[in-house]
Structure 1
Amino acid sequence: QYSPPHNVKSNDVVPWVLNSILCRYIPSQNPHVRQAACIWLLSLVKKLSQHKEITSHLKEIQVAFISVLSDPDELSQDVASKGLGLVYEMGGEADQQELVSTLVETLMTGKRVRHAVSEDTEVFQGEGLGKTPDGHSLSTYKELCSLASDLNQPDLVYKFMNLANHHAMWTSRKGAAFGFHMIAAKAGEQLAPFLPQLVPRLYRYQFDPNLSIRQAMTSIWDALVTDKTLVDKYLKEILQDVISNLTNNTWRVRESSCLALNDLIRGRQADDLIDHLAEMWETLFRVLDDIKESVRKAADLTLKTLSKVCVRMCESTGSAAQKTVAVMLPTLLEKGIVSNVSEVRSLSIQTLVKISKTAGSRLKPHASRLIPALLEALTTLEPQVLNYLSLRATEQEKSAMDAARLSAAKSSPMMETVNMCLQHLDVSVLGELVPRLCELLKSGVGLGTKGGCASVIVSLAVQCPQDISPYSGKLMSALMNGIHDRSTVVQKAFAFALGHLVRTAKDSSVEKLLLKLSTWYLEKEELVYKSSCALTVHAISHYSPDVLKAHAGVALPLAFLGMHQGPGPDEEKGESHDATLWAEVWQENVPGSFGGIRLYMTELIAITQKALQSQSWKMKAQGAAAMATVAKEQTGSLVAPHLGLVLTALIHGLSGRTWAGKEELLKAIALVVSKCSTELQKPCSGQPTISEVVEAVLKECRKENLVYKMAALRCAGDVLRSSQEDHFSDMTEILFPLIRKSCPESGGASSRSLDEDHDDDSDDKGVKDKELQTEALLCALETLGKTWPRNPQTQAHFQSEVCGLMSGKLRLSTWKVQLAVLQAMKPYFQDLLLLEKAGEDSSALSEILTETCAALTYPLENKSYSSVRTEALSVVDLIVKRIGESEQWECMSVKSREQLQRSLSTLQSDARPALRDKAQELRRRIQSQP
């Protein structure tokens, strides 16, 4: 350091040099000149600190150094900051106060000396393009100034600047002359009282996204914090500062807080962090949705670190791990998995899964909250587009899609966590869990949630049947409330759960369940109720067969009725998925259909009677079909009192208007009477007589509905034929009008073989009506033959009329009508009493034979249909046989014989040998007669 000798006049150039630097070179436009001038000025201040010229111009020197601070060159900034530190040390107390005020005002407001800019001025240096000349650098000093202001010690800004800005040059041997280490040590002593406030802020500033600030603050930190335990000492203050600044208005502060927290929590023990865990998770969740991408990335990094730390904390033993689980779960469940931010949801679920794997039995106290929350998340985390697609899809597509969605939900991380929790449940937890599960079953709207709940119930029923037993009734009730869901996949899931749950339930609860299903099935018309009943009973039969057998008296009659359910609107004709399920239940639980019906006869009749009394026509038809099966299976062994019960139920079902499916009742009546006619002849209390049955059937024959009328006629024909009752007079009132009604005709002998002769211009309705009329005619002819009695008086009254009616229809009819007439002729001639005794009424027989033989020529000469020719030959054979047996050949005229022989001769060229031989034989027999 220069000291001028006393009493010696010296050539002092300091004033000139100082003036040149301050007035000429510091304001220069050339940054290199300013940098050189700044170094000169620092040297002057350092070496000539006692010179009066220097001490008298401290304020101007500070202004000069401040102006260089905003230069983009780092060396210039470092030199200027060192100079400012020295200027501050040289001043007195008053001077220092003034200097501090000036510096703080300059740094905080950003005011600086303006440099004139010429065409040669270098604004950007090297690779610094795009970096404002004052932005980054000056912001560093603003942060330092703000730090000092917060401590209420603005003069400390000089110490910060000394510590923050030391270039590599200052650590060299030449730079050591400037005494940086001494300055740092002195600053450290002065800053020691402020460390509690200073350390948290400095720690955070080390992670500032601005490189200059980060380097500056790291320099200060390294100089001040020589004891590595200082962070542990002030951990609580650092955490409070960092967490509170996670939501700061400035993005740089938010980002630096995230990165600082990420560094701070690594390797920490549970006791250090546990009080702040909930706040950290919740605040970081908010920051993860920040508007700035770099902040979001920093938050994501910190959350992943926090997740790892928490999982590690849960692995440990003792109360700390239990407390960690207790603190974390509410935040993750209430704020995490229900968040609108996908990243938050994803991280929360991943953390929950990891915790569930490591925490083990420590999850048990929280299972009643954790399991319902995760089950709800199965729906909330599902992409909403799936619901839209499900609504737009067809029923078949929807079913396949729902099945895939439920499968995905069951294999999801949430369900994996739920299954882990279930392994640690006991009675103490079930008391809280079951009510929440029931509530979720009632209020849950998503397919994933409903399917997940059902899966949990199945697991409980399998893993802890004794523990779940007291709650089975409530769970069954909740499942029943939701089993008629519109999704078949949910229905199956609920039915699956009920199938397992009934094993743990009381007998009274199961009985109540089955009775409710039976009531639904009989009374509810919606298909969803019927399918849910089928699925539930089938599941019980499959998974709890012993329970079903214990309640077989309720379940199996319902299954028998369900077997006869017709196909739904979306199912193929003749096939019903529900009916298949019911059939499986029935077949797996009875000793053969015959034995099953006999075993549960009373119950079967009771349930079919209820079905027949239903307001639904479909259910009536189903009951009728079930009753018909009972009759069919038990025909050979149906005796009193069951015979009376069955017939009474069937006849009672006939009363009232016509409904679709009522034909099944008529088929059942025909079947029962046909097979049990002997038993019905015996008088028995509570058993309808044959006459009562016939009366009821004849009443149905008079109904206007043509399709139903045909079913009633067939029934009447079978009943009268098997019982040998004579009600032909009543039948003719119904049959004759039908037969005489206009019917499709062939249009001439040459075209008798045509099946149909429709007008090309007729519409579809006309065609269908015509087909129905033909069918009615065929049915009437069939019934006519079946109901032809062996009563002499009745035959004497109707024999000629019936013969004329049939002969007339053989002439100009289609082949189907001809066939039906020929089939009716067989029972007519078989039972014709005129052919049994000679001389009864020869003239009447002659008339009948004459008319018949003339009519038979038409079907015998039918070239197109061999079935017609075959049937006609059968009728001729029967007539020839009966005449021969009664020896009444004289009643067949020569003309009639010739007609038959002529028609039979046309069959000599028939393609079928059997017909040729039969025709030849009949010709010989007729020729051989006198």
Structure 2
Amino acid sequence: MSPLVGKYLAACFVGLKDHNATVRKYYANAVGHLVGIAKEKSIKNLFVKLDELYMENCANRSVPLTIQAINKRHNDLLKDYLDDVLPLTFFAKHEEPNDENKSNIELWKELWNEISPGDAGIRMNLHVIIPKLEKSLDEASWLRKTQAGNAIHTIAMRLSATIEEGDRMRLINLLLSELQGRTFKGKERLLHALAALCKGLDRHHEITVRIVDAAMRECRKEEPQYRTLALQALGDILEELEVDRFEEVYNMIWYLLEEKELRKEESDIAPEKTLTADERNKRATIFNKLKETVCETLGKSWPKHGVATQYKYQMQFVERSLLCLRSSTRPVQVSLLGALCKFVERLCVFASDSAPPVEEGNQEKKFKIDNGGSRDVIVEKICNEVLSAVIYASALPHTGLKKESLNIVLVLIKRLTDAKDLKNLTLVKTAFEENLANFQKDPTPEVRCRVNDIEEKFSKVSFKDD
């Protein structure tokens, strides 16, 4: 029978394309039996054709069913062909899910778990997985590009800092190349994959400039839902790489926090008054989510090492944040307080030995004028502004706001204690005690635990005058 196996496999392969699902399943099982007596060339050819069949029609369940049948009956044999099977299986399980393909994706995931040793399977087979992703990104189909982005994101998250530099650079360059094109549905997956690859990347590597520039370019796109997702990726990239691009980010997106409604696109021919209530609510939800993300991105982009940028924007940022806080919706307020928390956490001026950056000529004077001069004066001003935000939020009946407010107080205590700044620490303690009743109105564990932590930290500080 062996001389005829190749012909039988070819006949069965035709059956894998049958319109009837039951027929396809029978042929998949038949292939699983025949592979055991097939020649190496025939088996190789089969896997190539299965790959092509999937790329033609990813909804065809006969592809994973065939591989599953082979694994069930000839597990040892399949191990010799993992270079042919694993790339397709890994790629296929990252298809963008919807109601129609959910069961197919689960089937591919089951197959991956059966034939791959987990994360080690990804690491050991990157040499064949990456070419598969390269080929998929070259396709015109945005579905394939999105799928490849999902797969790269998984590689980055699972392998993290253990990815070899050559493989990391290859994947980053792949994504940067694809991001240059037009916007398509799912393009944000490529951005999020790029952000994930930044974890473990040397922040001084020359490619970081290209990464940030690519993300910034995408964040200037006007479509609000895509822009929201692009900003999320940009924030993660800037935070991970500790790059100072705050001024550009601030000038690019702060204005969105001051707008009352979503700007109409050129395609929006109908005037606002013709929109239905559901359409208006949808636009409001989209815009609020964009505003939340703007706040989060500003917080993540506040530069940890950009002393000059901090001195230029620290008062402006905290003052405008306080004004914006009072006029925003609750979810935006929560995000804004989260941004203020990161701001306080990274603020260089809180350090006891902090000094303004030395600049040439009039620029040095500009820093002094903008920030009120000495370190003590600046810190006191910032503490007063930040505490105003905390006090305002504490009076609102919202657990998320109280939680973020208390996070800010905890960070203030740490920063001021480290700097041995008892004067401003007393300011924080007084504000906390005066508003303690507001915090205690919330019985949730996350609020009560933070209140207890703050009281414990204050109890360890000696507030005697020098």
The reply on whether 1:903 has 2:450 as its aligned counterpart is: no
| Counterpart in the other structure of 2:89 | 559
| Counterpart in the other structure of 1:648 | 173
Q: Return 5+ residue gaps in structure 1 as ranges.
A: 1-466, 745-760
Structure 1 residues 543 and 567: CA distance shift in structure 2, 3 A: farther
| Counterpart in the other structure of 1:403 | none
Structure 1 residues 633 and 794: CA distance shift in structure 2, 3 A: same
Structure 1 residues 897 and 495: CA distance shift in structure 2, 3 A: closer
Structure 2 distance, partners of 1:512, 1:532, is: 16
Instruction: Provide Cα deviations, 1:216-254, integer angstroms capped at 9, x if missing partner.
Output: xxxxxxxxxxxxxxxxxxxxxxxxxxxxxxxxxxxxxxx
Q: Is the 8 A contact 1:670 1:719 kept in 2?
A: yes
Aligned-pair distance for 1:667? 2.3
Aligned-pair distance for 1:927? 11
Structure 2 distance, partners of 1:720, 1:625, is: 21
Instruction: Provide Cα deviations, 1:631-676, integer angstroms capped at 9, x if missing partner.
Output: 22221311232222222223223231222333222222222212x1
Aligned ranges 1:232-311 → 2 under 5 Å = none
Structure 1 residues 551 and 527: CA distance shift in structure 2, 3 A: closer
2:6 to 449, 473, 498: 473
Aligned-pair distance for 1:809? 2.8
Structure 1 distance, partners of 2:77, 2:195, is: 38
| Counterpart in the other structure of 1:615 | 140
The reply on whether 1:507 has 2:60 as its aligned counterpart is: no
| Counterpart in the other structure of 1:831 | 346
| Counterpart in the other structure of 1:677 | 201
| Counterpart in the other structure of 1:872 | 405
Structure 1 residues 880 and 486: CA distance shift in structure 2, 3 A: same
What SS class does the counterpart of residue 719 from structure 1 fall into? Answer: helix
What SS class does the counterpart of residue 61 from structure 2 fall into? Answer: helix
Structure 2 distance, partners of 1:929, 1:691, is: 49
Higher-Rg structure is 1
Aligned-pair distance for 1:918? 5.7
Instruction: Provide Cα deviations, 1:859-892, integer angstroms capped at 9, x if missing partner.
Output: 1112x22332232122123224433443556679
Structure 1 distance, partners of 2:233, 2:309, is: 21
Q: What's the RMSD between the two structures over aligned residues?
A: 3.1
Structure 2 distance, partners of 1:650, 1:583, is: 24
The reply on whether 1:721 has 2:247 as its aligned counterpart is: no
What SS class does the counterpart of residue 585 from structure 1 fall into? Answer: helix
Structure 1 residues 583 and 887: CA distance shift in structure 2, 3 A: closer
Q: Is the 8 A contact 2:422 2:463 kept in 1?
A: no
| Counterpart in the other structure of 2:337 | 822
Q: Is the 8 A contact 1:905 1:919 kept in 2?
A: no
Q: Is the 8 A contact 1:901 1:923 kept in 2?
A: no
Task: Report the residue type matching 2:416 in the other structure.
Answer: I
What SS class does the counterpart of residue 586 from structure 1 fall into? Answer: helix
| Counterpart in the other structure of 1:541 | 71
Instruction: Provide Cα deviations, 1:779-829, integer angstroms capped at 9, x if missing partner.
Output: 111111111013121112211221123212322333322221221111101
Aligned-pair distance for 1:579? 2.3
Q: TM-score with structure 2 length normalisation?
A: 0.82
Structure 2 distance, partners of 1:919, 1:814, is: 27
Structure 1 distance, partners of 2:92, 2:152, is: 12
Structure 1 distance, partners of 2:328, 2:390, is: 13
| Counterpart in the other structure of 2:284 | 770
2:131 to 606, 611, 614: 606
What SS class does the counterpart of residue 641 from structure 1 fall into? Answer: helix
2:294 to 757, 769, 780: 780
| Counterpart in the other structure of 1:665 | 190
| Counterpart in the other structure of 1:98 | none
Task: Report the residue type matching 1:563 in the other structure.
Answer: K
Structure 1 residues 504 and 916: CA distance shift in structure 2, 3 A: closer
Q: Is the 8 A contact 1:559 1:582 kept in 2?
A: yes
Q: Is the 8 A contact 1:808 1:855 kept in 2?
A: no
2:217 to 699, 702, 710: 699
Structure 1 residues 532 and 653: CA distance shift in structure 2, 3 A: farther
| Counterpart in the other structure of 1:389 | none
| Counterpart in the other structure of 1:859 | 393
| Counterpart in the other structure of 2:50 | 517
What SS class does the counterpart of residue 867 from structure 1 fall into? Answer: helix
Q: Is the 8 A contact 1:538 1:582 kept in 2?
A: no
Aligned-pair distance for 1:562? 1.2
| Counterpart in the other structure of 1:585 | 111
Equivalenced residues, count: 431
1:882 to 415, 423, 430: 415
Structure 2 distance, partners of 1:521, 1:919, is: 58
Instruction: Provide Cα deviations, 1:475-509, integer angstroms capped at 9, x if missing partner.
Output: 22233233222221111112112222222332222
Structure 2 distance, partners of 1:923, 1:580, is: 52
Structure 1 residues 727 and 910: CA distance shift in structure 2, 3 A: closer
More deviation in 874-883 or 918-927?
918-927
Q: Is the 8 A contact 2:395 2:438 kept in 1?
A: yes
What SS class does the counterpart of residue 813 from structure 1 fall into? Answer: coil
Structure 2 distance, partners of 1:537, 1:610, is: 21
Q: Is the 8 A contact 1:857 1:903 kept in 2?
A: yes
More deviation in 619-628 or 911-920?
911-920
Structure 1 residues 569 and 805: CA distance shift in structure 2, 3 A: same
Task: Report the residue type matching 1:824 in the other structure.
Answer: A
The sequence identity of aligned pairs, in percent, is 27
Structure 1 residues 770 and 781: CA distance shift in structure 2, 3 A: same
Q: Return 5+ residue gaps in structure 2 as ranges.
A: 263-274, 355-372
Task: Report the residue type matching 1:803 in the other structure.
Answer: V
Aligned-pair distance for 1:561? 0.9
Structure 1 residues 652 and 542: CA distance shift in structure 2, 3 A: farther
Q: Is the 8 A contact 1:778 1:817 kept in 2?
A: yes
Structure 1 residues 486 and 840: CA distance shift in structure 2, 3 A: farther
Instruction: Provide Cα deviations, 1:741-780, integer angstroms capped at 9, x if missing partner.
Output: 3279xxxxxxxxxxxxxxxx96212112211111111111
| Counterpart in the other structure of 1:261 | none
Structure 1 distance, partners of 2:77, 2:90, is: 18
Aligned-pair distance for 1:558? 0.8
Structure 1 residues 922 and 568: CA distance shift in structure 2, 3 A: closer
Structure 2 distance, partners of 1:580, 1:910, is: 42
Task: Report the residue type matching 2:209 in the other structure.
Answer: S
Aligned ranges 1:39-438 → 2 under 5 Å = none
The reply on whether 1:800 has 2:315 as its aligned counterpart is: yes
